[in-house]
Chain A
Amino acid sequence: MRLHPFILFVLLFSPMSSMLANDGVVFFEQKIRPALIEHCYECHSSTSEKLKGNLLLDSKAGIEKGGDSGETLIRPGDPDGSYLLRVMKHLEDGMEMPTNKPKLPDAIIADFTSWIKMGAPDPRTGVVLEAKRADKSWWSLQPLATEFAHDSIDDFISAKLSEKNLVGNPPADARSLIRRMSYDVIGLPPSYEEIVAFEREYQKSSQVAVAGLVDRLLASPRYGERWGRHWLDVIRFGESHGFERNVIVEDLWPFRDYVIQSINDDKSFQQLMIEHLAGDVIGKDNPSVEVGTAFLVAGPYDDVGNQDAVAKANIRAATLDDVITATSGAFLGLTINCARCHHHKFDPIPTEDYYRMLAAFEGVTHARRSIATQAERKALEDAMKPLNEQLKQLELEKGKIEAAIEARAKAISEQTKATRPKIDLHGTDEAFEAVEAKYLKFIIHGLTSDYQDGVKGKKRSGQGGKLTEFRVWSADPPERNVALATHGTIATGAKSATAEDFPEAYGPQYCIDDALGEAWFIGSPSELLLTFPSVETIQRITFLNARGDRSIDDSKVRGSTPCEYEVQVSIDGKQWTTVASDEGREPWSPAHGIAKARRAMETVEEDKQLADFDKQIQKIRAAIAKVPKLPQVWAGTFVTPKEPTFVRKGGDPMKLGEPIAPSSLQVLSRIPVSFELKPNAEEGERRLALAKWITHDSNPLTPRVLANRVWQYHFGTGIVDSPSDFGYLGSKPTHPDLLDFLACRLIKNGWRIKSLHREILLSKVYQQSAAYHEDFAKLDKDSRFLWRFPPRRLSAEELRDTILTVAGKMRLEPMGGPGFRLYKFTQNNVCTYFPLDVHGPETYRRSVYHQNARASIVDVLSDFDLPDNAFAAPKRANTTTPLQALTMLNHSFTLDMAKAIGDRIVGNKDKASELGVAITNAYRIVFQRDPSPKEIAAASSLIEKHGIEAFSRALLNANELLYLE
């Protein structure tokens, strides 16, 4: 137990102050203690059911220590400066005490004032219970150890094993070892032939054989695909934005390829992390470095948009919170994000630290930018410049001719008198002489929205309009609307929008539903065709695009309405007669009038001239389109914020506290490096300073966290079992000295991890067998102390990649590029991802190249715990469910692969003598071993009755395929 200095002081000097203290003690007992018990202990005592704010008021030491607010509760002699009194007086916003109760009576507050003036005498001796939280002496915040009791991984492990009365296993057999190492390093099984060759070598010299294998595996490009995927888990990489729209991101794959390439190149993680945070700063115009900043924006992103200013600010805050969460978890193993609204409840992270980090990221915008070399930029500029100039010149010349025609047309249009009013949005009638019709066509030539974009000309778009109702009136009284669907009429017509999961949406049937709610989205060709149930005699039509009567303001609803049109009728659907049109109506707008005049007056010569220009312009545009553009990547854009960053009280972006500068975090104030920039520091400088601080050799967290991740992916569990949380709520290291040893090795190796892999892979602890011992399991069921190599289930990607490999369908090269999809992507405002029932050959690539959209389900991968990556997934779940069994048995992917295996193993399946060979082949391909006679017998009988695919389907479902030791 540590004594608080103040307690020590009281103990030493109490006799001297006893007189004074006595009066005070009486006052305390009479006035203060009862008030504390009655009003405060419920939430602030060692017996509180729920301790609030980590504050204990039932001991003197508790008051001295204070709570999470970090404020000094009592300044003896200074009531105004005493936080306790201030919260009782309701002078602190959001901290009015007692919580949710009225202010205490003035008499009690006066007592506390007097008591503090007296020096706050407190006779209570109880000591503060051991804090249920970490302070700066927490293990992970200490500098790395520099001296070690051992100098090899195995010695650290053995020492701990003997301490725990455990003994490690003997070496694994060669087959298990090569399978283990292959999956571990490259995520794929070795072939049967590779195993046989390895076994032979291993027998000659195990050391030479293993060393050769390790070199071969680490040099394989498959290594980056496997370990790159681990890193993508850690940094919450996902290729759709999540949230409501969940738009797919098509240009994030260059970052995925960059991660894989970096890992294959054994790039320094110090460098990699700096590139993630500030690649654009250190690698301007160097695409392979710049692309790293995609890390910042690879998380979920709410892009719905919001007119409400408060909501907008909250969304922005949440967007950057993701960046802070990702950065602190992935690199530092800290949950800085828990300090957004208050000081961290369990770790010594003051809320200011959150805003120090925010200050570094406030200039980040989630967006795409072009990433290219200077030469590429220059080349583009050089290619575009002459084309743009030509285009400009042509448009200028064409414009002159246009202007002249336009002026003439305007004059004519102004003189033209309309004979009929313009169309009425609430219903335009066109009457005509009674006519018989089985079919009616409403041909739309122009819309009210035409000519609005400033483009001059005589062309009409007829596209993008809407129609809520179209009525056709019978000639014989009483006039009836014979267009109604309820009458039996059918409406057809193209639509300009579709919703795959709701085919009726936007269709022309809404024109004849006798309701103003839904509209037809007029498509191309812009024609509504009505088919009456029988020949009707009609004399009038009405069309409208309003959403209610004239009392309703629907100006923001209705959209564009047809205003230039023809009505045609037909008996046989072949011969058409025009019975009405917009002829004679007042133009919808002057521009409509001018355009109409132009159509009448423009000379053939002018037409030709303009067409010539259009042709030339078209040619230039085509040339421009052909110029290769700079590659765009969803890698963020950066602007120095105009305002300094402020602490936000309670995390509320509307409640600003003190301004705060981009600077190093107080939680690590004990490490020798620190930085503090000016509040208005240049944007890139902020991220770079943070990156350098995070990755500084003297920062103990970053290398510990990274070394632990490497260990975790080799052994299944880290030395620290909570890989992105090295704080109080995380777990403590099983081998703290080994962790530091590995972290030091990592730094010594220049933050490159391949040599760390090698050291681990070549260790005895890694190469030991997975043999089970009940006695040891009783002591250490999960082999956290590594008395055996912990067996494991394959990950989702390993399972799928294995199936493709054994089926002979895996296409490993070319690596990278845009991802493949095991879902159908649809977008209709928001995006929906439908899992595919059939996986085509274009998907037969490594699973790391799957374009992982958030909140999507892709059968085999999702079932086996592929994380959604809404958050980082530094550790994967490992579930067993009946749904996995259903997918593995019944999805067509399994059947396709079962068939492929069947094709691989059977030369001539009719010959019984060859069946044994086929079965042996199958076992060699799928499990990389020979079958036992018993297995051959069972397989033969299955194949004879139900064919080879029943057999290979079973093999793909076998535990032996899924579990590794």
Chain B
Amino acid sequence: MNENLDPSRRRFLEHMSTGMTGVALSSLLNQELRAVSSGQTHFPAKAKQVLQIFCPGAASHVDLWDHKPLLDKFDGTPMPGDAEVTFQGKNGNLMKSPWPFITAGESGKKISSLLPNMAKHVDDMAFIHSMSSRTNTHGPGCIFMNSCFARDGFPSAGAWISYAIGAINENLPTYVSIQDIRGEPPNGKANWGNGFLPAQFQGVSMAAQQPLRNLARPASIGPDAEMATRDFLKFINTEHAALHPGNDELQARLSSYELAAKMQMAAPEVSDLSKEPNHILDMYGTNDSNKLKAAYARNCLLSRRLLENGVRFVSLYCASRASAVDGLLNWDAHKTLKSDYERHCPIFDQPTAALLSDMKQRGMLEDVLVVWCTEFGRMPTHQEGTSGRDHNPDAFTTWMMGAGIRGGVSYGETDDFGRRAVVDITSVYDFYATMLHLLGLDHTKLAFYHNGANRRLTDVHGHILKSILS
């Protein structure tokens, strides 16, 4: 095998669509993969772009999205069955959500009263209440949610998608990961890593509070000097290329400098939120007195601008990592659920809802698939000695909306208390099989040879969640 050494991406995609992944893929490893790809898909796509909103720390399904009336009723009583020992230890009795749920939208969806603004969007959302994870630990959980593997080293979904269909606008990164002002999510950069895919497919880290690294021309160099340096560089590179025929990389590198220059023009322009009118800024809350909320709101607005300008995949994080206090920097409410979520929800609610409204009003949801995720759910019981909840990998909620998604539906169910997904149990593989499907990609055919296996985003699993598709 493997005598076929034709490296072109087009050829590669042909192989993908005929199922001959193994043949062409390992030979591709030899080859330089171009930064710009053809954008070809397996079949017509319903979505062109993805906005992933990620609330790290395991945002509690039973306190936000998954209403469990019986939890109110049996509050303070033992959960049926043996007392469980979970991530941090023993569990106490069932504990109702500290906040009432409200009825929202025409669909009558029940949603936590902590999310009054998000409630306005329920008719456009498809909730998946029956998610389950394979790990009860945040770091592996986050990368599992992002890459379908609970171990570092696998490409994140955004990297897979960049690899498969590439850029829409070459002057901006294809895949941008926007971190919260409070820091990186659990497992850090592995969440937007390229894994074993070439480095060009990794998520590029930027945020309203943190511009793209090395983007700006150094202050000590004036525009004329920059221009002259680049001209001279182009001259010596062109001379060099002429003496070295048959090396495509040389030309690719010349182009990469041109692209870099374009990116230097485009990225600051896109990141400049000052161009937005006041009513938009206010809608997002970019000047809110809560500094954390204002910072997240700016990142929401940046997300819209990036998507508007053709970034393929945007990951937007709301909250960050574990610290010396559980639930301080992220949604990991082990011990003080009430005060933790009364801090996190106001940061999340208005800016996210504004982003969705803004995108909808601009017609962007025709092209953009929006997904909300977290790494797993939380226990319906309280953790012994605390008023918080421990990790629960057996049930959590995610939702999708926008391009290709049927709104106002709820897929799958957890049991009476939200302890386990029981109806239409859904995996992260299913989640991404569905995302790839909407992007026109067959999740069983998008593959890359690595260390002895043709690896896929969805590993060897995955079913498309057809009932949430429009």
Contact = CB atoms under 8 A, between A and B. Distances in A.
Say whether A associates with B: yes
Interface stretch (A217-225, A289-297, A756-764, A934-942): A934-942
Interface stretch (B25-33, B38-46, B297-305, B346-354): B25-33
Contacts of A304: 137-139
Interface residues of B, number: 116
B451 A959 contact: no
Contact of B214 (A886, A938, A939): A886
A890 B218 contact: yes
A62 interface: no
Contacts of A325: 451
B170 to A, nearest CB: 8
A554 B240 contact: no
Given A244-B138, A548-B387, A859-B213, A942 B182 contact: no
Interface in B186-218: 186-190, 193, 195-200, 204-205, 212-218
B27 A855 contact: no
Contacts of A772: 244-247
A141 to B, nearest CB: 15
A321 to B, nearest CB: 9
Nearest to B32: A878
Contacts of B322: 244, 829-830
A556 interface: yes
B363 to A, nearest CB: 30
A87 interface: no
B5 A857 contact: no
Contacts of A727: 452
A178 interface: no
Contacts of A237: none
A832 B321 contact: yes
Nearest to B252: A880
A552 B384 CA distance: 11
Contacts of A793: 249
Interface string B138-162: 1110100000001111000000000
Contact of A311 (B136, B182, B253): B136
B152 A963 contact: no
B85 interface: yes
A870 B153 contact: yes
B214 A891 contact: yes
Interface string A681-698: 000000000000000000
Given A721-B27, A835-B213, A942-B228, A307 B89 contact: yes
Contacts of A878: 32, 198, 249
Contact of B228 (A781, A835, A891, A950): A950
Interface in A502-544: 502, 505-506, 515-519, 521
A944 to B, nearest CB: 10
Contacts of A334: 452
Contact of B244 (A722, A730, A791, A947): A791
B199 A731 contact: no
Contacts of A104: none
Contact of A881 (B153, B200, B328, B384): B200
B340 interface: yes
Interface string A486-515: 000000000001010110011000000001
A329 B240 contact: no
Contacts of A872: 451
A895 B452 CA distance: 42
Nearest to A309: B85
Contact of B336 (A548, A832, A863, A935): A548
Given A777-B246, A855-B188, A865-B198, A953 B5 contact: no
A42 to B, nearest CB: 15
A632 B64 CA distance: 48
A875 B173 CA distance: 26
A942 B236 CA distance: 12
Given A729-B449, A777-B246, A244 B187 contact: yes
Given A244-B139, A722-B26, A882 B329 contact: no
A774 interface: yes
Interface stretch (B100-108, B257-265, B275-283): B257-265
B321 A556 contact: no
A557 B386 contact: yes
B29 A875 contact: yes
B74 interface: no
A870 B336 contact: no
A856 B444 CA distance: 31
B339 A547 contact: yes
A243 B451 contact: no
A200 to B, nearest CB: 24
Contact of A243 (B152, B220, B225): B152
Interface in A683-733: 717, 721-722, 724-725, 727, 729-732
Contacts, number: 353
Contacts of B205: 857
B87 interface: yes
B87 A306 contact: yes
Contacts of A946: 224-225, 228-229
B236 A960 contact: yes
A870 to B, nearest CB: 3
A963 B153 CA distance: 28
B288 interface: no
Nearest to A727: B452
Contacts of B452: 329, 334-335, 337-338, 722, 724-725, 727, 729-730
Interface string A202-244: 0000000000000000000000000000000000000000111
B37 to A, nearest CB: 13
Contacts of B217: 889-890
B183 interface: yes
A866 to B, nearest CB: 9
Contacts of A832: 183-184, 188, 321
A833 interface: yes
B454 A965 contact: no
B240 A959 contact: yes
A37 interface: no
A942 B214 contact: no
B244 A965 contact: yes
Nearest to B215: A886
A650 to B, nearest CB: 13
A945 interface: yes
Contact of B200 (A521, A725, A730, A879): A879
Contacts of B199: 862-865, 877, 879, 881
B285 interface: no
B247 A886 contact: no
B229 A942 contact: yes
Given A244-B187, A731-B26, A947 B225 contact: yes
Nearest to B25: A729
A717 B193 CA distance: 25
A748 B411 CA distance: 65
Contacts of B70: none
10 contacts: A243-B152, A307-B88, A515-B343, A854-B152, A855-B190, A864-B199, A881-B35, A881-B256, A946-B229, A963-B247
A-B pairs, 3 with minimum CB distance: A244-B139, A517-B339, A870-B153
